[in-house]
């Protein structure tokens, strides 16, 4: 009896130990699959973000934060004053209107605050005020309220694929076709049928659902994956943007933790190991834009504190990675979702699936697909798109939206999709990569010939600017570019998005202005090559500053507490 009991205890102990070992191993595998950067550790990054104190550089430190000698700091001071005079004259009306509107439009306050590293913000906002208004667009240009016509490198967040004139036409022609139904919602306008047919053909998938934004499409895609697999977790890759919904934004920016999200390393064996061994993974979200900078967040100038931003696109390596991911997802019944909200229709007519030669189970599209109007779409396998169960009528996967399939949006989309079927569109996609790779290389050759510490990397018509020499002032380039008539989005040189109606002549003009801007910045001393300046040293200095300011803040708080 005693022996039997002992044996039972021994057995239970061994089983518990085995379970713990398995759990521990899985935990370890998960840790190994996290990217070593802060972006790979959502919880930690949020905690650390909460500790970062605000402080700014006064006049002196602003111009010599990299240890530049007084004559260089002076050159910079004079350059900023000159640039400021130019901005205040040239963009007078646009900046005045922006300043007026600022207090009542929270988004304007946000984008305005995040254009440069915060230490420099106050002086930059004073000297180079934001100009958040435009009055017209035409060809590859946008014109501000002062009549300044600039080459548009913002691409309207990626929406502008075919040129603004195309979307103006699509919206007008589309509106005319649905005018009789007007904004009546609920029943569909018949042209939705052609949209669904074309989208199924383009995506190679069985069904389509319409939403109002890319964020909503991603939310529903993940919800469907969870519903059909009965599993809880989504996997996203470090740095990848999938909209602003909490589960896909587990780090900085989201006030609460996302408990059912794993953020894993892109293009890593350790990630595949986790996918093979975890049984709670419902889906893997892939934003193919990350191919340009795997594991790095959207490159914004507000975080451009040094020159460590790097990017390089290797199509074969990324395609190979997607194939391996596809294989593991198939083996483990994990839903593979391509989030093509950004790159859809930009890389190839059939999107990233065609471009990389890998099929997904669900694909989300948005941006340009709306023909210039707001949109989010999911295309997917029939079994995954179903929102109810025949055998369990109360078990549904709810997703509705007042404005889903709005007749005006469907009509503009129809214009876009029909255009894609034309020989003109075929011609546009022919040689697309070669054209944009050549253009990027030409620009790089000009930059190198002028010995400028700048180069671009590109994924087809999406460019990012990298800096080849350690510097604390790279973010200044966005202001020099604007002075040369190049309009960027609020993330600055992090992303330049070209519409495909850029001719060679247009691009040559942009390249000349780009080089001129960089030359002016070089002459003004912002890229002073300090002998001891390294990216590591810059980061170390910033870290020290933050610690000092944090301690100072804590000290002040303590001295204000009642004793």
Ligand X SMILES: Cc1ncc(COP(=O)(O)O)c(C=O)c1O
The residue among 241 and 463 lying less far from ligand X, judged by its C-beta, is: 241
Task: Give me the least distance between CB of 344 and ligand X, in Å please.
Answer: 9
Site for ligand X in 72-101 (CB under 6 A): none
Q: Does 243 bind ligand X (CB under 6 A)?
A: yes
Residue among 100, 86, 98, 76 nearest 128 (CA): 86
| CB environment 151-161: b (16+ within 10 A), e (fewer) | bbbbbbbbbbb
- The β-bridge partners of 338 are 286, 363
The residue among 211 and 326 lying less far from ligand X, judged by its C-beta, is: 211
Residue among 31, 12, 551, 526 nearest 262 (CA): 31
Task: Give me the least distance between CB of 376 and ligand X, in Å please.
Answer: 6
Kindly state the DSSP code that residue 385 receives in the 8-state scheme.
H
217 neighbors 432 (Cβ within 8 angstroms): no
* One of 132, 174, 214, 530 touching ligand X (CB under 6 A): 214
Task: Give me the least distance between CB of 332 and ligand X, in Å please.
Answer: 24
Whose tokens are 């009965």? That residue is: 230
Cα–Cα distance measured from residue 561 to residue 28, given in angstroms and rounded to the nearest whole number: 43
Cα–Cα distance measured from residue 183 to residue 506, given in angstroms and rounded to the nearest whole number: 39
Size of the site for ligand X (CB under 6 A): 14
Q: Does 215 bind ligand X (CB under 6 A)?
A: yes
Task: Give me the least distance between CB of 308 and ligand X, in Å please.
Answer: 23
Q: Which stretch binds ligand X (CB under 6 A): 46-54, 214-222, 322-330, 451-459?
A: 214-222
The residue among 155 and 174 lying less far from ligand X, judged by its C-beta, is: 155
The residue among 64 and 302 lying less far from ligand X, judged by its C-beta, is: 302
The residue among 62 and 365 lying less far from ligand X, judged by its C-beta, is: 365
Q: Which stretch binds ligand X (CB under 6 A): 53-61, 129-137, 235-243, 506-514?
A: 235-243
Q: Which stretch binds ligand X (CB under 6 A): 1-9, 238-246, 419-427, 520-528?
A: 238-246
* Burial zone of 551 (CB within 10 Å; 0-12 exposed, 13-18 middle, 19+ buried): exposed
* One of 171, 218, 305, 413 touching ligand X (CB under 6 A): 218
Task: Give me the least distance between CB of 285 and ligand X, in Å please.
Answer: 9
Cα–Cα distance measured from residue 507 to residue 515, given in angstroms and rounded to the nearest whole number: 12
* One of 167, 210, 237, 241 touching ligand X (CB under 6 A): 241
The residue among 117 and 366 lying less far from ligand X, judged by its C-beta, is: 366
Task: Give me the least distance between CB of 39 and ligand X, in Å please.
Answer: 16
Planar angle of CA 22, 23, 29, nearest 5 degrees: 90
Question: Which residues lie below 8 Å from residue 326, measured CB to CB, with a gap of 6+?
Answer: 336, 358, 359, 360
Site for ligand X in 345-384 (CB under 6 A): 366, 376
Q: For residue 387, give both structure tokens.
A: 């929102």
The residue among 202 and 217 lying less far from ligand X, judged by its C-beta, is: 217
Question: Which residues lie below 8 Å from residue 306, measured CB to CB, with a gap of 6+?
Answer: 470, 471, 472, 474, 535, 538, 539
Check residue 387 and give left, alpha or beta (phi > 0: left; psi -120 to 50: alpha). alpha
Task: Give me the least distance between CB of 379 and ligand X, in Å please.
Answer: 14
| x/- track of binding to ligand X for residues 327-346 (CB under 6 A) | ------------x-xx----
| CB environment 5-27: b (16+ within 10 A), e (fewer) | eeeeeeeeeeeeeeeeeeeeeee
94 neighbors 147 (Cβ within 8 angstroms): no
Task: Give me the least distance between CB of 236 and ligand X, in Å please.
Answer: 11
User: For the residues of 279-318, what is the DSSP string, one character each?
Assistant: S-EEEEEE-GGGGGSTT-----GGG-SSS-------HHHH
Task: Give me the least distance between CB of 462 and ligand X, in Å please.
Answer: 11
Q: What is the CA radius of gyration of the chain?
A: 26
Task: Give me the least distance between CB of 217 and ligand X, in Å please.
Answer: 7
* One of 226, 242, 278, 346 touching ligand X (CB under 6 A): 242
| x/- track of binding to ligand X for residues 125-164 (CB under 6 A) | --------------------------------x-------
321 neighbors 267 (Cβ within 8 angstroms): yes
The residue among 345 and 467 lying less far from ligand X, judged by its C-beta, is: 345
Task: Give me the least distance between CB of 459 and ligand X, in Å please.
Answer: 13
Cα–Cα distance measured from residue 285 to residue 433, given in angstroms and rounded to the nearest whole number: 25
Q: What are phi and psi of 257, to 5 degrees?
A: -70, 150
Closest-CB residue for ligand X? 214
Task: Give me the least distance between CB of 211 and ligand X, in Å please.
Answer: 9
Task: Give me the least distance between CB of 208 and ligand X, in Å please.
Answer: 17
Task: Tell me, letter by letter, the H, E, C secondary structure of 395-438.
Answer: EECCCCCCCCCCHHHHHHHHHHHHHHCCHHHHHHHCCHHHHHHH
The residue among 76 and 115 lying less far from ligand X, judged by its C-beta, is: 115
The residue among 120 and 342 lying less far from ligand X, judged by its C-beta, is: 342
Site for ligand X in 184-213 (CB under 6 A): 213
The residue among 243 and 494 lying less far from ligand X, judged by its C-beta, is: 243
Query: Could you tell me the CA-to-CA distances from 556 to 56, 168, 310, 524, 550 in Å, in that order?
Result: 17, 56, 39, 39, 10
The residue among 241 and 480 lying less far from ligand X, judged by its C-beta, is: 241
Site for ligand X in 284-303 (CB under 6 A): 287
The residue among 189 and 211 lying less far from ligand X, judged by its C-beta, is: 211
Q: Which stretch binds ligand X (CB under 6 A): 180-188, 240-248, 267-275, 495-503?
A: 240-248
Residues counted in the chain: 563
Task: Give me the least distance between CB of 241 and ligand X, in Å please.
Answer: 5
Four-CA torsion 408, 412, 418, 419, nearest 10 degrees = 170
244 neighbors 405 (Cβ within 8 angstroms): no
Q: Does 261 bind ligand X (CB under 6 A)?
A: no
Task: Give me the least distance between CB of 153 and ligand X, in Å please.
Answer: 16
Q: Does 525 bind ligand X (CB under 6 A)?
A: no
Residues lying near ligand X in the complex (CB under 6 A): 157, 213-215, 218, 241-243, 287, 339, 341-342, 366, 376
């Amino acid at each position: 009896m005693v022996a039997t009991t002992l044996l039972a205890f021994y057995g239970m102990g061994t089983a518990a130990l085995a379970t713990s070992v398995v759990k521990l191993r899985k935990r370890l595998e998960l840790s190994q699959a996290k990217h070593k950067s802060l972006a790979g550790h959502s919880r930690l990054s949020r905690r650390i973000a909460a500790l970062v104190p605000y402080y700014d550089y006064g006049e002196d430190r602003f111009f010599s934060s990299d240890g530049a000698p007084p004559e260089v700091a002076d050159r910079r001071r004079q350059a900023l004053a000159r640039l400021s005079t130019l901005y205040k004259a040239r963009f007078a009306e646009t900046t005045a209107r922006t300043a007026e509107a600022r207090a009542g439009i929270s988004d304007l306050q946000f984008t305005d605050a995040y254009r440069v590293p915060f230490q420099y913000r106050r002086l930059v906002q004073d000297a180079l005020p934001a100009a958040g208004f435009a009055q017209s667009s035409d060809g590859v240009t946008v014109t501000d309220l002062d009549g300044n016509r600039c080459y548009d490198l913002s691409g309207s967040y990626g929406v502008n694929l075919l040129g603004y004139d195309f979307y103006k036409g699509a919206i007008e022609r589309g509106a005319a076709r649905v005018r009789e139904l007007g904004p009546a919602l609920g029943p569909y306008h018949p042209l939705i049928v052609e949209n669904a047919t074309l989208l199924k053909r383009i995506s190679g998938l069985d069904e389509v659902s319409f939403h109002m934004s890319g964020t909503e499409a991603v939310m529903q895609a993940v919800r469907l994956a969870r519903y059909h697999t009965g599993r809880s977790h989504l996997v996203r890759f470090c740095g990848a943007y999938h909209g602003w919904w909490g589960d896909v934004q587990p780090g900085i920016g989201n006030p609460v933790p996302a408990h059912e999200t794993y953020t894993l390393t892109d293009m890593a064996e350790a990630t595949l190991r986790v996918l093979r061994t975890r049984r709670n993974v419902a889906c893997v979200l892939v934003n193919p834009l990350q191919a340009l900078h795997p594991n790095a967040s959207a490159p914004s100038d507000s975080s451009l504190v040094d020159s460590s931003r790097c990017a390089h696109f290797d199509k074969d390596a990324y395609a190979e990675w997607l194939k391996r991911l596809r294989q593991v997802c198939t083996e483990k019944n994990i839903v593979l979702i391509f989030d093509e909200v950004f790159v859809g229709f930009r890389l190839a007519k059939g999107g990233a699936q065609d471009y990389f030669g890998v099929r997904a189970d669900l694909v989300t599209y948005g941006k340009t697909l709306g023909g210039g109007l707001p949109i989010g779409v999911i295309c997917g396998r029939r079994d995954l798109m179903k929102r109810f169960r025949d055998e369990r009528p109360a078990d549904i996967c709810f997703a509705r939206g007042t404005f889903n399939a709005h007749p005006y949006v469907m009509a503009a989309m129809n214009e876009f999709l029909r255009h894609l079927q034309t020989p003109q569109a075929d011609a546009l996609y022919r040689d697309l990569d070669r054209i944009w790779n050549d253009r990027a290389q030409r620009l790089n050759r000009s930059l190198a010939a002028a010995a400028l510490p700048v180069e671009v990397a590109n994924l087809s018509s999406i460019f990012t600017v990298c800096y080849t020499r350690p510097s604390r002032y790279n973010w200044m380039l966005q202001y020099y570019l604007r002075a040369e008539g190049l309009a960027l989005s609020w993330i600055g040189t992090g992303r330049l998005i070209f519409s495909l109606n850029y001719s060679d002549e247009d691009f040559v003009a942009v390249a000349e202005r780009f080089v001129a801007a960089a030359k002016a910045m070089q002459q003004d001393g912002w890229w002073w090559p300090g002998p001891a300046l390294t990216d590591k040293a810059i980061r170390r200095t910033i870290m020290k500053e933050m610690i000092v300011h944090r301690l100072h803040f804590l000290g002040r708080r303590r001295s204000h507490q009642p004793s």
